[in-house]
Amino acid sequence: MANSDNIHPPTPVQTTSTIVLCTLNAKYIHASLGLRYLFANMGELQSQTRICEFMINRKSPEEWANELIAMNPRIIGFGVYIWNTVQTCELVKLLKQLRPDITIVLGGPEVSHEVLEQEIAQLSNYVITGWGDISFPKLCRAVLHGPQPLMKVIAGEQPPLDDIQLPYAYYTDEDLAHRLLYVEASRGCPFKCEFCISSLDKTAWAFDLDLFLGQLQTLYSRGARNFKFVDRTFNLKIDASVRIMQFFLDRMGDDLFLHFEVIPDHLPDRLKEMIAKFPPGSLQFEVGIQTFNVDVQKRISRKQDNDKTVANLKWLLNESNAHLHTDLIFGLPGESLQSFSDGFDKLYALEPHEIQLGILKRLRGTPIAKHTETHGMVYDPLPPYQVRQTAAVSAADMTRFAHMARYWDLVANSGRFTATMPLLMLGDSPFGAFMAFSDWLWNESIHIKGKTSGITPEHLVNALHAYLTGPRGMDVDVVTQALLTDYVASGARARPDVLRHLMPKFPAPIPKAKKQHSQRQAQHLSLTPS
């Protein structure tokens, strides 16, 4: 716990701000879209407002507090999310000890539900639930000029989208050069998947498309080439989807990169024709499968045509250059380890570029909570509120899966082991094959035993060699050659123990990824046969 005794008086700075918009980002590459929306809508208060983004692992709460106090603000608004709520709470606690006169306002999904039971909400002066674009500036005016708000918890006003000023002019040149640019053509989601906070939306609302594309043009003219759409259902309205994709096709170059989240069972021919025009490395789709179990889908109100989903994935993989990042969720109510294994094997057989293995989280306010008693759902009380066990999955198996998910990310999703993976996944069930490897890594590997972090590619090479030639009984030469092929292709220059005698003196590195691609996608691209 942070201690206010460690705080030293901040060094005075020349610039002060009446209002500071602040959040703790997971990584530098992330730029807060929410804060920029608030800034864009501050009206006459904008000149007194500044954005302050910290990286969650770069500094301490004491250092963050020093920097904020140095700005001498009257009001600080914090964006609170599942990944930063613990650290933000510590920061708010320090600020209230050192400068109790500062008005602390919270907003964001983590504090929009179950509000008053949270310590961070108890420490703050006000909490805005839901949309803050209009409500936060109104609250600031009331705090600064009166009359003072009567309620601590304020339900955010949801105005027509035309009444909201767009935020994209407030991405800086540094943002454009070094960070992901989050954009949204729409808000909300019409679907009711109970694990998702978007299930609380009534529908999806679209921004004026001409205005939105005009903003994208301005960003593009300033040099932006990396756009991550946060729309929950980008391909919901095909007319809009086609226009947006045509906008980028008209400006296509080898440095343009786009990320969309798409509905897996909705891919009309018009959209396919558009997707097929994009060159390799320019397009990434995040495709939420979550589960192929029909009973589980019905239980959690997820409408998904599995046959259409499979057909669309096949088309995307065979007929387009899109990079596919697919998602599965383990621990859904009523889903057993065997049921999940069957779904994983079905998805794996399609050969998407990545399969993200997640564990169910009980996000505050989501309807998934209604299954807690019926299906024996036990959740971690601390963020990110992952399920620990269910009536269908023991705590031990949930832990095994957590290890597997981490190792899967390092081995399969990394793209570093394309030649070795077919050897590793041999057997009747790919899921079973990788789970066995995961269990061995955790329990028996001399290189990795008991670890899911601090694992180098060299550790993995040595461990894979030991496992495949040991418990799996595979030919040493076959395994060694596969690992050598993968390691040299990755561009790594170290010398794993099992490859030391075979490594070329100066292995040829893979071409550097264009800065707009994620490192992982670039790895997949570099290892894709031409």
Structural domain includes residue 264: yes
Q: Which of 378, 413, 440 is the last residue of a domain?
A: 378
Q: Which residue has the tokens 């640019």?
A: 181
Judge whether 446 lies within some domain. Answer: yes
Per the structure, the complete domain to which residue 505 belongs is given by 394-530
pLDDT of 2: 41
* Residue 6 in domain: no
Model confidence over 24-74: pLDDT tens digits?
999 999 999 999 999 999 999 999 999 999 999 889 999 999 999 999 999
Q: What is the CATH number of the domain that holds 55?
A: 3.40.50.280
Instruction: Note whether 148 and 231 are same-domain residues.
Output: no
- In this structure, what are the phi and psi dihedrals at residue 409, rounded to the nearest 5 degrees? -60, -40
Element (H, E) at 358: strand 354-359
Q: What is the pLDDT of residues 477-528, one digit of tens each?
A: 999 999 999 999 998 888 899 999 998 875 455 555 444 455 556 555 554 4
364 and 261 within one domain: yes
pLDDT at 504: 80
Please tell me the least confidently modeled range out of 304-313, 330-339, 455-464, 504-513.
Answer: 504-513
Establish if 493 belongs to a structural domain: yes
Q: Domain check: are 362 and 233 in the same one?
A: yes
pLDDT at 530: 34
Give the residue carrying structure tokens 């594309």: 213
Tokens representing 407 are 């190792």
| 132 and 204 assigned to the same domain | no
> Do residue 372 and residue 229 come from a single domain?
yes
Q: pLDDT (tens digit, 9 = 90+) per residue, 444-474? A: 999 899 999 999 999 999 999 999 999 999 9
Is 525 part of any domain? yes
Instruction: Indicate whether 104 belongs to any domain.
Output: yes
Q: How far is CA 428 from CA 349, 393, 401, 435, in A?
A: 12, 22, 19, 13
Answer whether residue 10 is part of any domain.
no
DSSP class of residue 376 equals: T
How many domains does the chain divide into?
A: 3
* pLDDT tens-place string over residues 221-232: 999 999 999 999
Q: Give the residue from 161, 191, 217 where a domain finishes.
A: 161
CA 293 – CA 335 distance, rounded (Å) = 8
Q: Output the furthest CA–CA distance in the chain (Å, rounded).
A: 79
C-beta of residue 55 within 8 angstroms of C-beta of residue 30? no
pLDDT at 297 over 70: yes
In this structure, the answer to whether residues 295 and 197 fall within a common structural domain is yes
pLDDT digits (tens, 9 = 90+) for 4-25: 334 333 333 335 789 999 999 9
Interval 231-261: pLDDT, tens: 999 999 999 999 999 999 999 999 999 999 9
Q: Do 127 and 274 share a structural domain?
A: no
Q: Are residues 175 and 110 part of one domain?
A: no
Sequence-distant (6+) residues with CB within 8 A of 210 are none
CATH number (domain holding residue 192): 3.80.30.20
Structural domain ending residue among the three candidates 141, 161, 181: 161
pLDDT of 201 reads: 87
The reported pLDDT for the residue numbered 271 is 96
What percent of the chain is modeled with pLDDT above 90? 88
Q: Do 200 and 139 share a structural domain? A: no
Position 98 in a domain: yes
